[in-house]
Structure 1
Amino acid sequence: MSATSIICTSLSFTWPDGTPVLTGLDAAFGPGRTGLVGANGSGKSTLLKLIAGELTPSHGTVRVTGESGHLPQNVTLDTGMRVDQALGIAAQRAALHAIEAGEVREEHFETVGDGWDVEERALAALGEVGLGRIGLDRTVGEVSGGESVLLRLAALLLRRPDVLLLDEPTNNLDLYARRRLYAAVESWPGVMVVVSHDRELLELVDRTADLHAGELTWYGGNFSAYEKALAEEQEAAERMVRVAEADVRRQRRELTDAQVKLARRKRYGQKMWDSKREPKIVMGARRRAAQESAGKHRILHEERLAEARERLDEAVEAVRDDEEIRVDLPHTAVPPGRTVLTLRDVRLRYGARVDGELRLQGPERVALVGRNGSGKTTLLRTVAGELAPVSGEVSAHVPVRFLPQRLDVLDGDLSVVENVARQAPDATNNHIRARLARFLFRGARADRKAATLSGGERFRAALAALLLAEPAPQLLMLDEPTNNLDMASVRRLTGALESYEGALLVASHDLPFLQSAGITRWLLVEEGVIRETTWEAIADPA
């Protein structure tokens, strides 16, 4: 294999609606682990899809040395598919079983090839990501969203491609599963490009590539090294802005001084002309010479001012102003002590249950935690009315809004504005657009089709649709809300939740986010039972 495994040359990509994502990008990814970072919507996922061959460049080329494997941001598997099919070994496994049953046809041996140990290797790959218990004959519909991610990762580990592309791989993963994934990343022997907002994962990379304003900037080292280098760059850029601003002020003063001197000379020349102290031909020559000299002086200072302004513009461009979402949650106060949700002797689908009575009251902030597949999403969907409980009582006593993990509240064929308008039919177009501007969907951005949005953009659009819906929520339920957000947007979401006055029920594996969201109560889904727990027990699951 050559030293460089991925080469992008003059790479450009534009969505069918004319929205440009990448323009003339040149990049080369070599052996080792590369962390690809950047703000939501900067084109990271699109770049991975171009490298994987899932999208076709509008211009330019992508050349990959060896086989590539891609773990997309949103893993979607047919729920009726068996685990061995998801792993890509169903045909080999069927041929192997046929041979073991005495069928010795040639095509069975051709299908098996060298894969006589394919079942053992498949189970080992599942075990490597913590899915050894699920076996090869279960269906995808029996595993959780997080387990689907791990299943796709296990399929890649089984294939061992030369180039591994991971897009937000820790989304939906519990703490145990994340540790499994971190170990797999650390031990990966080939080329890896990983897009993530997970700081712990990005600390494992060998180098960091920052995609900003359509250009890649390379930094040696992990995320901490990148942050330090970027902070130093920005500090230097801000100093350059201050120097350039001072230069512009100085050039303005000098131009003003030159204009004042020119005006004085004109007045003096006119006075001399009026008094006729010298012959007209002499005064005329002096006037012309003075005007030419003054004009050249003025032009010189105007040129210097223009140059100073250009330097200021360049310096300002070097200073980043990464936009952050500005979430404005509705004022939906719930009095302390008022019951917002009651669960009584509930049996949920897939086995989880509530023994006795569980109440959420007032503006409580409740975190719902537990392993992948334990039933957290099932509980939220049941409270939202999307699923019926097997038995028992589920009663919401206030307006409820639910932002699901897969953001499937959006219609991909509709624009962002149209998606929000569906949820708030009485809101005016101007009101919707004004609210969307706080979510960074300004002007033409608000008219983009939902299907063309990045993961973070989809989250913003879905959250806008949720918060503009009528009536506004007094119980807000979020399922893994930080999965697709960059770190700046997570901070902004946390700030917005601080001012939210209703009840909050949030399922998340992002412990720093839960801490910053001011969680007051912890519910653990474990071994089929939903019960109270504490922060200390969650923070140290061992």
Structure 2
Amino acid sequence: MATPTAPTAALTCSALSFQWPDDTSVFDGLSLTIGRGRTGLVGTNGTGKSTLLRLLSGSLRPTRGSVTVSGSLAHLPQNITLDTTLRVDDALGIAERRRAVRAIEAGDVSEEHFDTVGDDWDVEERALATLGSLGLGGIGLDRTVGQLSGGETVLLRLAALLLERPDVLLLDEPTNNLDRFARRRLYEAVDSWRSGVLVVVSHDRELLERVDRIAELRSGSVSWYGGGWSAYTEDLATEQEAAGRTLRAAEADVRRQKRELEEARVKLARRQKQSKKLDAQRRAPRIVAGEKKRSAQESAGRLRGLHEDRLHEARERREEAESAIRDDAEIRVSLPHTAVPAGRTVLTLDELRPRYGRLAEGSLRVHGPERIALVGRNGAGKTTLLRTLTGELAPLSGEARTHVPLRFLPQRLDVLDDGLSVAANVARLAPGVTENHIRAQLARFLFKGARADQSAGTLSGGERFRAALAAMMLAAPAPQLLMLDEPTNNLDIASVRQLTTALEAYEGALLIASHDLLFLESVGITRWLLLGEDLRESTADEVRDLLEAPEPV
């Protein structure tokens, strides 16, 4: 990774506030300074990590406050979209310089060519070296972006940013779509960052182990932890243990204050009863008795008020202690209509050859509620194969047929209409289902009350995935075959656990393309399909060995 030279590279935001057009507030007065070195920005989905990077990069404008960047800045967003007709050198931003160098070498000494090149005479060599360092040495500069896989596109965009030699580099979920070998190349690039500011938003624990510090975004503010992911989780566990002790002490104090208040009330009642009895026996003058009664009532009021104040303060301390306890909500959903009998044919492929990718020909039979993992190297054509199975892409030859209701959740989550609310998106895919039923089901996907009315365009990456998953699973007719393309992209660890819980409740057939082997193993994969020039069954261990090894040249 290129080493920045700006000695004062830094990022600062002052009193930063941001609201989406529908008045959803993300930040309110956030102040933050990020200095030189590698910072991992973490937080649960929906806390605003990607929004903060967009504000820091200038692609979003704050509602109030300011952002100051010292040095040049480059930003790798979460969802990469490149024109598929672009050549690689265009995507890298070097096409004009490359043409100018070649024109000069061919004898055309026009001044405009020298102006275009400037001092960058080795631009092609630098570009090839950068591509090589990220494992893209074999793609060349003359291919088109449309010939690259999703993972190769991510690395290509990163290569373009590195060629700019930025002082500040912002990376948002950079390991999305990358196979194990490509991830290792990215890890090496992060390891080589020696100066300047590098900020990484990621749920990839291996990547987060490589940062110098963790910045946790929670409830609109940032807490800092030294070291990488392991150090952060250890510190967090210590904090939560202390918070648990504080909460238990606060709850005990509330119980004690309640008991003391009740005891005080009983004592006061007894005292008042006894005082009335004595006054009756002594037959004190009415004016004296009235004065004594007022004095006793004032004294009782002060004592009762003192205990009530103490109880109120104890409850406030308990609320404060409760707020420090983290509680990751879990998806709880029942989907009985998705069940598939064991002998039912779900999907058939006959001598299928997709339009793109490496598969020359493949045949497959899927029966009953099988759980199939589709794995392969970047560029093998996993996404192309899934899109062919849905009918979105026509094959070059052969046939693919689905025999049960199918739903497909693509990488880009473009099944949602950004202009509609979460509830309206589900209703669009489930005509005839009552609004009350939709909202009840959405609550199980953690979209409760007003959250179900939030515009899909304002959701975080993880929230958007959860909304898209809900829309797919709650669609009518109920899907008995669910196909997912890299479903753990953009999800924090808590959200991956939520996804796993939801899929455990799903009773239909699953076909999942993913590089996340831990996730695949957690959802109970029953068949592993390795995609290359053919489509063959494998084992989890064979898949791991293959994806962690460099591809043969």
Tell me if both proteins adopt one fold, taking TM over 0.5 as the criterion: yes
Q: Counterpart of 2:118?
A: 113
Q: Which of 141, 146, 155 is equivalent to 1:150?
A: 155
Equivalences, count: 541
Spell out, residue by residue over 1:254-306, the C-alpha distance to the aligned partner (whole angstroms, 9 max, x if none): 11111111111221222223334444454444333322222211111111111
Q: Counterpart of 1:265?
A: 271
Q: Counterpart of 1:520?
A: 526
Q: Which of 433, 443, 453 is equivalent to 1:447?
A: 453
CA contact (8 A) 2:362 2:535 kept: no
CA shift at 1:117, angstroms? 0.7
CA contact (8 A) 1:327 1:492 kept: no
* Percent of aligned positions that are identical: 69
Q: Counterpart of 2:50?
A: 45
CA shift at 1:330, angstroms? 4.4
* Unpaired stretches in structure 1, ≥5 consecutive residues: none
Aligned counterparts of 1:133 and 1:4: Cα–Cα separation in 2? 34
- After TM superposition, the structure 1 = structure 2 runs for residues 34-73 of structure 1, keeping only pairs within 5 Å, are 34-73=39-78
Aligned counterparts of 2:155 and 2:335: Cα–Cα separation in 1? 34
Q: Counterpart of 1:468?
A: 474
1:519 maps to a residue whose letter is I
Q: Which of 9, 15, 22 is equivalent to 2:14?
A: 9
Q: Counterpart of 1:437?
A: 443
Aligned counterparts of 1:161 and 1:351: Cα–Cα separation in 2? 34
2:338 maps to a residue whose letter is T
Aligned counterparts of 1:198 and 1:176: Cα–Cα separation in 2? 14
Spell out, residue by residue over 1:195-254, the C-alpha distance to the aligned partner (whole angstroms, 9 max, x if none): 001111111111001000001000001111111111111111111111111111111111
Q: Counterpart of 1:397?
A: 403
Q: Counterpart of 2:30?
A: 25
Aligned counterparts of 1:61 and 1:257: Cα–Cα separation in 2? 56
Q: Which of 214, 219, 225 is equivalent to 1:208?
A: 214
Aligned counterparts of 2:522 and 2:21: Cα–Cα separation in 1? 40
Q: Which of 221, 230, 238 is equivalent to 1:232?
A: 238
The alignment status of 1:243 with 2:217, answered yes or no, reads: no
The alignment status of 1:301 with 2:307, answered yes or no, reads: yes
Q: Which of 184, 187, 194 is equivalent to 2:189?
A: 184
2:184 maps to a residue whose letter is R
The change in CA–CA distance for 1:104 and 1:359 in structure 2 (over 3 A counts) is same
CA contact (8 A) 1:327 1:493 kept: no
1:237 maps to a residue whose letter is A
Secondary structure of 1:311's counterpart equals helix
CA contact (8 A) 1:203 1:224 kept: yes
Q: Which of 358, 361, 366 is equivalent to 1:360?
A: 366
Aligned counterparts of 1:300 and 1:195: Cα–Cα separation in 2? 50
Aligned counterparts of 1:333 and 1:75: Cα–Cα separation in 2? 36
Q: Counterpart of 2:316?
A: 310
1:304 maps to a residue whose letter is R
CA shift at 1:309, angstroms? 1.2
TM-score by length of 2: 0.95
CA contact (8 A) 1:41 1:453 kept: yes
Q: Counterpart of 2:3?
A: none
Q: Counterpart of 1:481?
A: 487
* Unpaired stretches in structure 2, ≥5 consecutive residues: 1-5
CA contact (8 A) 1:32 1:206 kept: yes
The alignment status of 1:335 with 2:341, answered yes or no, reads: yes
Q: Counterpart of 1:81?
A: 86
Secondary structure of 2:356's counterpart equals helix
The change in CA–CA distance for 1:102 and 1:329 in structure 2 (over 3 A counts) is farther
Aligned counterparts of 1:327 and 1:204: Cα–Cα separation in 2? 37
Aligned counterparts of 2:328 and 2:83: Cα–Cα separation in 1? 37
1:286 maps to a residue whose letter is K
CA contact (8 A) 2:333 2:505 kept: no
Secondary structure of 1:115's counterpart equals coil
Spell out, residue by residue over 1:457-497, the C-alpha distance to the aligned partner (whole angstroms, 9 max, x if none): 11011111111111111111110011121111111211222
Secondary structure of 1:24's counterpart equals strand
Q: Counterpart of 1:500?
A: 506
Q: Counterpart of 1:103?
A: 108
CA contact (8 A) 1:354 1:531 kept: no
The change in CA–CA distance for 1:351 and 1:164 in structure 2 (over 3 A counts) is closer
The alignment status of 1:169 with 2:174, answered yes or no, reads: yes
Aligned counterparts of 2:50 and 2:364: Cα–Cα separation in 1? 41
Aligned counterparts of 1:88 and 1:193: Cα–Cα separation in 2? 23
Q: Which range is displaced more, 112-121 or 259-268?
A: 259-268
Q: Counterpart of 1:132?
A: 137
1:130 maps to a residue whose letter is G
TM-score by length of 1: 0.97
Q: Counterpart of 1:372?
A: 378
Aligned counterparts of 1:3 and 1:221: Cα–Cα separation in 2? 22
Q: Which of 296, 300, 322 is equivalent to 1:290?
A: 296
The alignment status of 1:457 with 2:451, answered yes or no, reads: no
Q: Which range is displaced more, 466-475 or 67-76?
A: 466-475
Aligned counterparts of 2:378 and 2:516: Cα–Cα separation in 1? 13
CA contact (8 A) 1:338 1:361 kept: yes
Q: Counterpart of 1:509?
A: 515
Q: Which range is displaced more, 159-168 or 406-415?
A: 406-415
Q: Which range is displaced more, 70-79 or 350-359?
A: 350-359
CA contact (8 A) 1:96 1:112 kept: yes
Q: Counterpart of 1:535?
A: 540
CA contact (8 A) 2:356 2:381 kept: yes
Secondary structure of 1:350's counterpart equals coil
Aligned counterparts of 2:150 and 2:358: Cα–Cα separation in 1? 16
1:57 maps to a residue whose letter is P
The change in CA–CA distance for 1:75 and 1:361 in structure 2 (over 3 A counts) is same
The alignment status of 1:413 with 2:409, answered yes or no, reads: no
The alignment status of 1:350 with 2:350, answered yes or no, reads: no
CA contact (8 A) 2:85 2:145 kept: yes
